[in-house]
Protein backbone atom coordinates (compact mmCIF):
# COMPACT_ATOMS: atom_id res chain seq x y z
CA UNK A 1 0.00 0.00 0.00
CA UNK A 2 2.87 2.28 0.66
CA UNK A 3 4.12 2.06 -2.94
CA UNK A 4 0.75 3.25 -4.28
CA UNK A 5 0.81 6.27 -2.06
CA UNK A 6 4.29 7.19 -3.30
CA UNK A 7 3.17 6.99 -6.91
CA UNK A 8 0.17 9.23 -6.27
CA UNK A 9 2.45 11.76 -4.52
CA UNK A 10 4.72 11.83 -7.58
CA UNK A 11 1.72 12.17 -9.93
CA UNK A 12 0.36 15.03 -7.82
CA UNK A 13 3.69 16.89 -7.89
CA UNK A 14 4.02 16.40 -11.67
CA UNK A 15 0.46 17.64 -12.20
CA UNK A 16 1.15 20.73 -10.06
CA UNK A 17 4.30 21.47 -12.06
CA UNK A 18 2.42 21.09 -15.38
CA UNK A 19 -0.39 23.35 -14.17
CA UNK A 20 2.11 25.97 -12.96
CA UNK A 21 3.98 25.92 -16.30
CA UNK A 22 0.70 26.18 -18.27
CA UNK A 23 -0.42 29.11 -16.11
CA UNK A 24 2.95 30.83 -16.57
CA UNK A 25 2.75 30.40 -20.36
CA UNK A 26 -0.80 31.78 -20.48
CA UNK A 27 0.15 34.78 -18.32
CA UNK A 28 3.25 35.41 -20.44
CA UNK A 29 1.24 35.30 -23.67
CA UNK A 30 -1.41 37.63 -22.24
CA UNK A 31 1.20 40.10 -20.94
CA UNK A 32 3.24 40.08 -24.15
CA UNK A 33 0.08 40.77 -26.15
CA UNK A 34 -0.90 43.57 -23.79
CA UNK A 35 2.56 45.13 -23.74
CA UNK A 36 2.90 44.70 -27.51
CA UNK A 37 -0.33 46.63 -28.10
CA UNK A 38 0.87 49.45 -25.84
CA UNK A 39 4.06 49.92 -27.88
CA UNK A 40 2.64 49.83 -31.39
CA UNK A 41 3.33 52.78 -33.63
CA UNK A 42 0.55 55.28 -34.21
CA UNK A 43 2.44 57.28 -36.83
CA UNK A 44 -0.71 57.57 -38.97
CA UNK A 45 -2.39 59.67 -36.32
CA UNK A 46 0.72 61.71 -35.61
CA UNK A 47 1.08 63.09 -39.15
CA UNK A 48 0.18 66.78 -38.95
CA UNK A 49 0.83 67.81 -42.55
CA UNK A 50 -0.88 71.07 -43.51
CA UNK A 51 -1.87 72.62 -46.82
CA UNK A 52 -1.13 76.34 -46.44
CA UNK A 53 -2.37 77.43 -49.86
CA UNK A 54 -3.40 76.10 -53.24
CA UNK A 55 -4.16 76.96 -56.88
CA UNK A 56 -6.56 75.14 -59.18
CA UNK A 57 -6.05 76.37 -62.73
CA UNK A 58 -7.79 75.17 -65.89
CA UNK A 59 -5.34 74.52 -68.73
CA UNK A 60 -5.55 73.49 -72.36
CA UNK A 61 -2.48 72.01 -74.02
CA UNK A 62 -2.11 70.82 -77.59
CA UNK A 63 -0.44 67.53 -78.34
CA UNK A 64 1.86 68.10 -81.29
CA UNK A 65 1.91 64.52 -82.57
CA UNK A 66 -1.81 63.86 -82.50
CA UNK A 67 -3.07 67.38 -83.27
CA UNK A 68 -5.55 67.22 -80.43
CA UNK A 69 -5.88 69.18 -77.26
CA UNK A 70 -5.82 68.00 -73.66
CA UNK A 71 -7.72 70.01 -71.12
CA UNK A 72 -8.08 69.76 -67.40
CA UNK A 73 -6.96 71.19 -64.11
CA UNK A 74 -3.46 71.80 -62.86
CA UNK A 75 -3.58 71.56 -59.05
CA UNK A 76 -0.80 73.01 -56.91
CA UNK A 77 -0.82 72.67 -53.11
CA UNK A 78 1.70 74.32 -50.79
CA UNK A 79 2.55 72.03 -47.89
CA UNK A 80 4.08 72.45 -44.44
CA UNK A 81 5.10 69.56 -42.18
CA UNK A 82 5.35 71.00 -38.63
CA UNK A 83 7.99 70.00 -36.07
CA UNK A 84 7.11 66.80 -34.23
CA UNK A 85 5.36 65.31 -37.23
CA UNK A 86 7.08 62.33 -38.91
CA UNK A 87 8.49 62.46 -42.42
CA UNK A 88 5.84 61.55 -44.96
CA UNK A 89 5.12 61.34 -48.68
CA UNK A 90 2.04 62.02 -50.78
CA UNK A 91 0.57 59.00 -52.58
CA UNK A 92 -2.70 60.37 -53.96
CA UNK A 93 -4.13 63.71 -55.00
CA UNK A 94 -7.84 64.29 -55.55
CA UNK A 95 -9.94 67.23 -56.67
CA UNK A 96 -13.51 67.23 -55.37
CA UNK A 97 -16.57 69.41 -55.24
CA UNK A 98 -17.23 70.69 -51.72
CA UNK A 99 -20.18 68.27 -51.41
CA UNK A 100 -17.72 65.34 -51.65
CA UNK A 101 -18.27 64.44 -55.33
CA UNK A 102 -15.01 63.40 -56.97
CA UNK A 103 -13.92 65.48 -59.97
CA UNK A 104 -10.67 63.64 -60.62
CA UNK A 105 -7.95 61.61 -58.95
CA UNK A 106 -4.23 61.29 -59.60
CA UNK A 107 -2.04 58.67 -57.92
CA UNK A 108 1.24 60.21 -59.10
CA UNK A 109 1.44 63.70 -57.60
CA UNK A 110 4.82 65.41 -57.95
CA UNK A 111 6.27 66.75 -54.70
CA UNK A 112 9.17 69.19 -54.81
CA UNK A 113 11.89 69.75 -53.65
CA UNK A 114 11.84 66.12 -52.42
CA UNK A 115 9.25 63.35 -52.49
CA UNK A 116 9.69 62.93 -48.70
CA UNK A 117 8.45 65.86 -46.65
CA UNK A 118 10.56 66.09 -43.50
CA UNK A 119 9.50 67.79 -40.26
CA UNK A 120 9.80 71.61 -40.22
CA UNK A 121 9.95 71.77 -44.01
CA UNK A 122 7.80 73.04 -46.85
CA UNK A 123 7.05 71.45 -50.19
CA UNK A 124 4.87 71.88 -53.25
CA UNK A 125 2.64 69.07 -54.51
CA UNK A 126 1.33 69.31 -58.06
CA UNK A 127 -0.89 67.05 -60.08
CA UNK A 128 -3.05 67.36 -63.14
CA UNK A 129 -6.39 65.81 -63.84
CA UNK A 130 -8.56 65.80 -66.91
CA UNK A 131 -11.90 67.40 -66.20
CA UNK A 132 -14.37 69.67 -67.94
CA UNK A 133 -13.98 73.40 -67.45
CA UNK A 134 -15.97 74.64 -64.47
CA UNK A 135 -16.98 78.28 -64.07
CA UNK A 136 -14.23 80.35 -62.45
CA UNK A 137 -14.78 80.65 -58.72
CA UNK A 138 -16.35 77.20 -58.31
CA UNK A 139 -15.52 76.01 -54.78
CA UNK A 140 -13.49 72.79 -54.75
CA UNK A 141 -11.56 70.72 -52.23
CA UNK A 142 -8.06 69.41 -52.69
CA UNK A 143 -7.48 66.12 -50.89
CA UNK A 144 -3.98 64.73 -50.47
CA UNK A 145 -3.36 61.29 -48.96
CA UNK A 146 -0.08 60.47 -47.21
CA UNK A 147 1.73 57.13 -47.14
CA UNK A 148 0.29 56.61 -43.65
CA UNK A 149 -3.26 57.02 -45.00
CA UNK A 150 -3.87 60.45 -43.48
CA UNK A 151 -6.06 62.73 -45.61
CA UNK A 152 -5.27 66.43 -45.72
CA UNK A 153 -7.90 68.72 -47.27
CA UNK A 154 -7.96 72.31 -48.41
CA UNK A 155 -10.91 74.29 -49.80
CA UNK A 156 -10.29 76.78 -52.58
CA UNK A 157 -11.91 77.81 -55.85
CA UNK A 158 -11.14 77.26 -59.52
CA UNK A 159 -9.55 79.92 -61.70
pTM value is 0.68
Q: How would you classify the pairing of strands 139-146 and 50-63?
A: unpaired
Q: Are residues 54 and 34 in the same domain?
A: no
For the chain, the average pLDDT equals 84
Is the pLDDT at 64 greater than 60? The verdict is no
Whether residue 17 is found in the same domain as residue 67: no
The domain in which residue 97 lies consists of: 44-157
Q: What is the dihedral of CA 98, 104, 110, 111, to 10 degrees?
A: 20
Cβ neighbours of residue 97 under 8 Å, at least 6 residues apart?
Answer: 103, 138, 139, 140, 141
141 and 76 in one domain? yes
- Is 54 in contact with 153 (CB distance < 8 Å)? no
pLDDT in tens, 116-132: 999 999 999 999 888 88
Sequence-separated (6 or more) residues with CB below 8 Å from residue 119: 81, 82, 83, 84, 85, 86, 87
- The structural domain count of the chain equals 2
Amino acid sequence: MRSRRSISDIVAVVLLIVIAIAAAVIIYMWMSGLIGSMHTSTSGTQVKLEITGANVTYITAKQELHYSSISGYNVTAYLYNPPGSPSTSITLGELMFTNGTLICSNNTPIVEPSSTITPSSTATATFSCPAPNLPAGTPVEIVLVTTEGVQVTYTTSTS
